[in-house]
């Protein structure tokens, strides 16, 4: 008679064979579903996307920062240090009349000339192919969306607009230097955001009696452009920096000074000039 220990190898072999049998049986049962899943993947529609590349120029030449080499229409010699801004509510206008936009929570982009990673935006995916007449966007943030504390991390959080001046966020910080009429180099902070209405035009924050939302819609020049059924469709969106100071109104740093966050008239002039400050090219 065999000792019980002698049966252990046989039982082990039976156990392994049983497990293998169960594995193969399960695999055979799952095979039709795997084939369906694979066939479904092969039958998916092509995927495309829109990538917007941001560029900045002055008089049709790439922007050079940190050098006093420019002069605006008012005759102010100036240099640009940095530009930070928001665009939002991007809408693509298809030639058949459709308007294509992002989900609201995704439809804000921060752009910063010091941060290369912000100079590209994959804004839309799975777009209807065809010809698009134009695109539009809000420069800055609309009144409904420009709420304090919606950003908690840098760099966007650094765009906060003072609560006492209306709250929310800057639409843009364009910082640099200009040379005044006495040949003195002075800093300017061309900052756009919510404007204020002051009792008796005092300019004192304690006299603020209302606010003005200065955001505006931009329809860049250029276009139309086409979208392919698959792959990446790239558009270049260029900010023509000189336009902020030159067209349609001449902006004079000697008139407005270096800081305009509490000067609604100066901000209004800047916002009017910003409407034609962008172009697109495919």
Average pLDDT for 119-129: 92
pLDDT at position 125 is 85
- pLDDT tens digits, 189-245: 999 999 999 999 999 999 999 999 999 999 999 989 999 999 999 999 999 999 999
pLDDT at position 47 is 86
How do strand 231-240 and strand 48-58 relate by DSSP bridges?
A: parallel
> Residue 33: is its pLDDT beyond 90?
no
pLDDT at position 103 is 83
Tokens found for residue 269 = 């002039």
How do strand 70-71 and strand 48-58 relate by DSSP bridges?
A: unpaired
Share of the chain above pLDDT 90, in %: 79
Domain ranges of the chain: 4-42, 48-281
User: Is there a contact between 166 and 121 (Cβ–Cβ < 8 Å)?
Assistant: no
- What confidence tier does 15 reach under pLDDT thresholds 50, 70, 90? very low
Average pLDDT for 126-145: 96
- Which helix (H) or strand (E) covers residue 142, if one does? none
pLDDT at position 80 is 98
pLDDT at position 280 is 98
> Residue 8: is its pLDDT beyond 90?
no
pLDDT at position 45 is 61
pLDDT at position 17 is 44
- pLDDT tens digits, 44-103: 667 899 999 999 999 999 999 999 999 999 999 999 999 999 999 999 999 999 999 988
The predicted model scores a pTM of: 0.83
Average pLDDT for 111-132: 95
Query: 19-23, 36-40, 58-62 — which one is most confidently predicted on average?
Result: 58-62
Residues in Cβ contact with 252 at an 8 Å cutoff, skipping those fewer than 6 apart: 74, 76
User: Is there a contact between 207 and 198 (Cβ–Cβ < 8 Å)?
Assistant: yes
Average pLDDT for 162-187: 98
Question: Nearest-CA neighbor of 184 among 251, 258, 267?
Answer: 258
Supply the mean pLDDT for the chain: 88
Cis before 155 (ω within 30)? yes
């Amino acid at each position: 008679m065999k000792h019980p220990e002698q049966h252990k190898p046989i039982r082990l072999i039976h156990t392994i064979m049983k497990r293998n049998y169960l594995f193969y049986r399960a695999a055979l049962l799952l095979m039709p579903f795997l084939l369906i899943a694979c066939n479904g993947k092969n039958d998916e529609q092509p995927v495309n996307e829109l990538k917007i590349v941001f560029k900045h120029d002055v008089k049709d030449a790439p922007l050079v920062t940190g050098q006093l080499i420019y002069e605006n229409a008012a005759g102010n010699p100036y240099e640009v240090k940095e530009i930070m801004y928001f665009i939002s509510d991007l809408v693509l206008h298809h030639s058949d009349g459709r308007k294509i936009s992002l989900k609201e929570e995704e439809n804000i982009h921060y752009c910063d000339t010091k941060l290369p990673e912000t100079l590209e935006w994959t804004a839309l995916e799975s777009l209807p192919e065809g010809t698009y007449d134009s695109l539009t966007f809000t420069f800055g943030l609309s009144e409904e969306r420009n709420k304090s504390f919606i950003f908690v991390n840098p760099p966007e959080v650094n765009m906060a607009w003072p609560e006492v001046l209306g709250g929310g966020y800057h639409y843009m910080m364009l910082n640099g230097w200009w040379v005044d009429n006495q040949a003195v180099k002075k800093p300017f902070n061309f900052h756009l955001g919510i404007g204020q209405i002051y009792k008796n035009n005092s300019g004192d924050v304690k006299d603020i009696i209302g606010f003005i939302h200065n955001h505006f819609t931009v329809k860049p020049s250029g276009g139309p452009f086409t979208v392919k059924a698959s792959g990446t469709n790239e558009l270049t969106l260029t900010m023509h920096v000189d336009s902020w100071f030159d067209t349609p109104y001449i902006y004079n740093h000697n008139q407005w000074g270096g800081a305009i966050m509490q000067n609604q008239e100066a901000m209004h002039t800047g916002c009017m000039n910003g409407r034609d400050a962008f172009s697109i090219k495919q």
